[in-house]
Structure 1
Amino acid sequence: MRIAIVGDGKVGSALTEQLAKEGHDIVVIDSNKAVLRDAVEALDVMVVHGNGATLKVQELADVEHSDLLIAATSADEINLLCCIIARKLGCPHTIARVRNPEYAHQLYFLKDELGLSMMVNPELAAASEIFRLLQFPSFLQRDSFAKGRVEIVEIEVRGESKLTGKKLAELYKTARVKVLVCAVERGDNVLIPDGNFKLHKHDKLYVTASSKDLAKLIHNLGLERRKIRNVMIVGGGNIAYYLAEDLIASGVNVKMIEIDPERCLLLAEALPRATIIEADGSERGVLDSEGIGDTDAVVTLTNIDEENLIISMYADFAGVSKVITKINRTEYHEVFRDRGIECVVSPKELCSHEIVRYVRAMHNTTEDSIITLHRIVGGRMEALEFKANESTWHLGTTLTKLRLKNDILIACISRQGEIIIPSGADSIQLGDTVIVVTTAEKIVHDLNDIFDEQEDRFRFKEGHE
């Protein structure tokens, strides 16, 4: 597909890199010549210099013949104008990044009139992700599927864990709920394990489970941490605002530290039940005086990655049981994790994944396109959700008889609200929601992409002669 991306900032550059890797024809529009030069040198993309919100520049970029325009500049109004012009030129799909909380309700109201196919809010997505992590502080990552009925959660095998030395075939005896370990991160290696795989200390497991079984899983594995009742947020931007709203509504006490006095006044007015502290949250004296050692969780949300890392490391040093760090430069993630930075949230990555999911769904001409896409294991693997329909191969065939491509695992099947952690005797039925885990290098557009092409090329659809 031909895709125009307006804005080559954090979100735009992440999208350009991912979509170019997936084989799309990308044209990047930006008013900064330096970032365009970097894009040309690093990736096989076309660039156009200028204001993407003008008709002349969009015509130069041939937006009228593009399949999709993504407006990801730092200004909401420019993004909306870019999409309106693109639709007038004839571009059939447009996506706008919209960050201002005040626009949220009215934009959904005006979505059709503005010609928007999709709106993304990186800050709102990040706040939702952090809130979910604080609900179950034992998990390092949580990704939701099947309308929230299934989750893939990340668990670390600590030294005192009941899982140390256990084979995966023995997992049910310990967990006492049906789960599937779909990936294991051990040091620098990522594995899709079988039942004979033995767990070691410091392994990080990615476990598929029914959402209703998460509390039991934590209890039975001895992973329980104290409930989050007090949260310290360092930084008072939009993510902090969205997160504080959710936390306060759930009965959690919120203390927010923000250095800008004007922003503090706005936050105090918007969040009367939160405690707003005007101070530099990167200073150790401020953190100590505000009781960092006595809080249940610390979330670092300043605009500077380095500050967030330092504050998070100090919170870990001070004994805070749950620390969540906002980071945009995720290429150093494996380094962070060796320094006490376990839970990392990246707004640009969350936004990028949602747009990539939409693009893959556009690319697919059948009805079994991607419903949900999440990156796991530091972005090295993908978990994807599809719906099986009449065009899906091998409906009714038991999983033991299926030939899947290498490095692909069927992690879960959802059937009319019933969650099935699959065994060899299970099968995919018409209307099922199927969750698949694979390496990030494999581009999976639809459910049939998981089957081995060599075997299936000349085979009829079993059960549908």
Structure 2
Amino acid sequence: MYIVIAGAGLLGGHIASTMAGEGHDVVVIEQSELQTETLSAQLDIKIIRGGAVSPSVLEEAEVKKADMVIASTNSDEANIVICFLSKQMGAKRTVARVRNPEYSGYLILPTQSPNKARRVFRPKNLGIDLIVNPEIVAANEIRRILSSLYLTPMDEFAEGQIQLTEFKATKGDILDKPINQIDFPKPCSIAVITRGTETMIPKAEDVILQGDRVYILASKNDMDELGSVFTQAKGKASSAVIIGGGRVGFHIAQRLEQIGVQVKIIEKSRRRCFEIAQRLKAVVVQGEGSDYNFLVEERVASADALVATTERSELNILLGLLGKNLGIKRILTLVDRPSYIPLAETVGIDIALSPLQLAAGKIVRLARVAEVISVSRLAGERVEIVEYVVGENAPIANKPLSELQLPNGSKILAFTRDGAISFPQADSIIKASDHAIIACQTALSSVVEKLFY
């Protein structure tokens, strides 16, 4: 695919690296000389220096032949204009990073007369096929985690019927046994195991060790029972401390309040504290979140969860470790780079999340030739879980799984047909129009994709 990316900041640069790594023809538009030099040193792609809101710059980038234009500058308004212009010039698909929630859905314009119908603008009216807000995506994920019985990140497939959930192996019954000898209470597939900095897509004879992070794919209704095999349920969080009252911290607090969690926000800016206090019910405290004595005075240790959301990944990891030292049971930190996730979890952080990685997963699926429903990237993006719709002439269709020659580093986890979930057996046959859920090393994604169309 021919992909144009406007803006080479953290999100744009990350997507450019991902798309180029998958073999797409990528062009980046960026105004900053520093950003262009940095990206040029990292990737062998075409980079145009200039502002993407300029039609002449978009013409130079040849957006008229683009399969996708991704607008990821720091300006919501610029991103909307870039998508509108690109669509008018012939781009097939457009994606806009939009942080302001007011721009993200329907925009209802007032009328001069109550008798006249109000005008409703949708993102499609503005030439935008997909709006992505990394901060809101991350906030929604944290709400899901803290409302679960287990402290686990999760993704959904098959229209929510199937969940992919991470559990830390701490209970003895499953440890040091080959996977094919474990008596699971419900049908499931072991998708991925991470052990320190090592990541594997396990075979039947592989074993689960103490402390492994195990990703399970199963029916959503069975996940709580399966979780009890791996670890002790912690229960849903009823209180949380958020360190960092920026945009993402605010969104997290807002969503936790919606599910009845008592929230305390620690923010060093007095002005920002006042703004948050005007809009939320949360207790807002001005202070330095890295001051251990201050955290003790604020009785942070009594909270069920600590969420570190400052703009610095390294500080968030440090704050998480401080919370761990205080005895808080649930520690979640945000990191800007997916590569930090294994490092953070290795040093003791319960869950590290990258808003960039979560947002990129929503964009990446649009750049696949095969019909892709969902993409989830794990373990610092070394592995991905993909839900494909099997094509009519797909090489994988109408053959017993025992006869398929899947690349090493890939595995069929489950498939659905007419809403029914099946976990693969040697004699299972996947048919056209089935939804197949696959685990594979990210480096193999372009090879595996060819099996499905």
Normalised to the residue count of structure 1, the TM-score between the two structures is: 0.89
1:350 maps to which of 358, 364, 380: 358
Find the counterpart in structure 2 of residue 114 from structure 1: 126
Which residue number in structure 1 is paired with residue 438 of structure 2? 436
How far has the Cα of 1:91 moved from its partner? 2.1
> In the alignment, which of 164, 171, 174 is matched to residue 182 of structure 2?
171
Q: Which residue of 2 aligns with 1:210?
A: 219
Partner SS for 1:207:
strand
The separation in 1 between residues aligned to 2:299 and 2:433, in whole angstroms, is 52
Deviation at 1:323, TM superposition (A): 0.6
Distance across 2 between alignment mates of 1:222 and 1:94: 43
In the alignment, which of 277, 289, 298 is matched to residue 297 of structure 2? 289
**TM-superposition CA deviations, 1:397-428 (whole Å, max 9, x none):** 33223332222211011233322222223321
Matched, 1:238 2:243: no
Say which SS state the counterpart of residue 15 (structure 1) adopts.
helix
Change (3 A) 1:286 1:69: same
User: Partner of 1:420 in structure 2?
Assistant: 422
Letter in 1 for 2:79: N
1:308 equivalent in structure 2: 316
Structure 2: 5+ residue stretches without partners: 108-119
What is the SS of the residue equivalent to 2:182? helix
Per-residue CA deviations over 1:310-338 (Å, capped at 9, x if unaligned) read 11011111111111100003333333222
Q: Distance in 2 between matches of 1:58 and 1:310?
A: 42
Aligned-pair distance for 1:87?
Answer: 2.0
What per-residue deviation string (whole Å, max 9, x for no partner) do you get for residues 151-182 of structure 1?
12222223x5432222212322xx41222112
Structure 1 residue aligned with 2:111: none
Matches of 2:342 and 2:449, distance apart in 1: 31
Bigger Cα displacement from structure 2, 84-93 vs 70-79: 84-93
Paired AA for residue 186 in structure 2: V
Equivalent residues of 1:69, 1:86 under 8 A apart: yes
Equivalent in the alignment of 1:196: 205
Deviation at 1:69, TM superposition (A): 1.5
Distance 2:144 2:447 in 1: 28
> Structure 1 residue 219: deviation in Å?
3.0
The offset of 1:447, in angstroms, is 5.5
1:155 corresponds to:
167
Q: 1:338 maps to what in 2?
A: 346
1-structure distance, mates of 2:230, 2:33: 54
Aligned residues: 441
Rounded to whole Å, the distance in 1 between the matches of 2:294 and 2:270 is 16
Matches within 5 A, 1:25-174: 25-106=25-106, 109-136=121-148, 138-158=150-170, 160-172=171-183
Q: Which residue of 2 aligns with 1:463?
A: none
Output aligned runs, 1:216-235, within 5 Å.
216-235=225-244
Tell me the equivalent position of 1:265.
274
Moved more, 29-38 or 398-407: 398-407
Aligned to 2:410: 408
Distance 1:450 1:409 in 2: 13
Deviation beyond 4 Å, 4+ runs, structure 1: 445-448
Structure 1 residues 112 and 329, CA gap change in structure 2 (3 angstroms): closer
Q: Which amino acid aligns with 1:333?
A: I
Q: Is the Cα contact below 8 Å between 1:27 and 1:45 reproduced in 2?
A: yes
Counting aligned pairs with the same residue, the percent is: 29
**CA separation in 1, counterparts of 2:151 and 2:386?**
20
Amino acid at match of 1:265: F
Per the alignment, in what secondary structure is the counterpart of residue 298 of structure 1? strand
Q: Which amino acid aligns with 2:179?
A: L
**Which amino acid is the alignment partner of residue 418 of structure 1?**
A
Greater shift, 329-338 or 72-81, is seen at 329-338
**CA 427–9 in structure 1, closer or farther in 2 if over 3 Å, else same:** same
Q: For residues 255 and 310 of structure 1, what CA distance do their matches in structure 2 show?
A: 19
- Compared CA separation, residues 94 and 450, structure 1 to 2 (3 A): closer
Q: Secondary structure at the match of 1:370?
A: strand
- From the superposition, tell whether residues 101 and 282 of structure 1 become closer, same or farther in structure 2 (CA, over 3 Å): farther
Instruction: Tell me the distance in 2 between the aligned counterparts of 1:69 and 1:112.
Output: 14
SS in 1 for 2:105: helix
Q: Secondary structure at the match of 1:316?
A: helix
Give SS of 2:306's match. Answer: strand
Residues 408 and 436, structure 1, Cα contact 8 Å, conserved in 2: yes
For 1:364-415, what per-residue CA distance to the aligned partner results, in whole angstroms no more than 9, with x for missing partners? 2xxx511100111221111000123433345443322333222221101123
The one-letter amino acid of 1:285's match is N
In 1: Cα distance, 2:228 partner to 2:152 partner: 16
Letter in 1 for 2:424: P
User: Are 1:21 and 2:30 counterparts?
Assistant: no
Q: Which SS does the other structure have where 1:441 is aligned?
A: helix
**Inter-partner Cα distance in structure 1 for 2:71 and 2:347:** 36
Contact 1:375 1:382 in 2 (8 A): yes
Q: Is the 8 A contact 2:63 2:86 kept in 1?
A: yes
Deviations 1:238-293, CA, capped at 9 Å, x for gaps: 22232223222212111112222332233222223x22222222222332222221
**Letter aligned with residue 14 of structure 1:** H
Give the secondary-structure state (helix, strand or coil) at the position aligned to 2:94: strand
CA distance in 2, matches of 1:435, 1:111: 30
In 1, the alpha carbon distance for the partners of 2:121 and 2:353 equals 29
For the residue of structure 1 that corresponds to 2:288, the secondary structure is coil
Instruction: Note the aligned Cα RMSD (angstroms).
Output: 2.2
Matched position secondary structure for 1:184: strand
Q: 1: distance between equivalents of 2:349 and 2:202?
A: 26
